[in-house]
Structure 1
């Protein structure tokens, strides 16, 4: 479905003589709007939701990276560095190595945190935080990433729809 979406976007951009990165992006969004509105008609609702949640996730995660970068910069630039590093064990909601790997990579990309290990048997991910106010604060941050990632991956499924 994604290839059809891209082909339609490129075709529309070429037809409209807008074959530039910005033109293709604009036509991609136009085609997405049509797909989103007609999702139930053509049976592509899940694809449209995945694209929508994926874009939301990327924008949200970029914002989280900027916030975490400012927090780490504030810690480093203080006169007295009062950090409270901690290693926190967090039980993931889904026992899936692929999802655990994605969560670990996203946690590691966020400044000030590092995924150290994942225990398959207990579903625990061990996360190092540069400055941890509490175990709950670190866990809340990982849970937000996990929740949004799972919402993106499960978009349009029965659990997402509430059915």
Structure 2
């Protein structure tokens, strides 16, 4: 069982003017990562291409490469309006500007992955250098009932 005291917001750590990164956040070197030469462009995947038979195989290969080599990608041609995306970005930034105590109202519960914070598996686990807010929004049946009604109205 992981104690709740283990989690500390990266935003809160940065406010302390640390002289070094806490060991909890120092990731071990990966020989695979050091051997790769990366371009400086984030990999992009086209959703329409994934859905179209003529370009599907090539786009699936790109998706596999992005996940294997980078661990993330930018999704294009998804059909979500730029206004919706800008509004969401603004609302999420507002959430992360809340005081730490307010954000902790939405903390991840033991055994769950949704909410604010880091998914804690063990006391000696290495953490990413960043805070996160994760929640399932669709399908409606998968929404976390304790989390969504509690969020600021702009994110509900």
- Establish whether TM, by shorter chain, passes 0.5: no
- From the two aligned structures, give the one with the greater strand fraction: 1
| TM-score, length basis structure 1 | 0.23
- From the two aligned structures, give the one with the greater helix fraction: 1
Considering Cα pairs closer than 8 Å and 6+ residues apart, tell me whether 1 or 2 has the greater RCO: 2
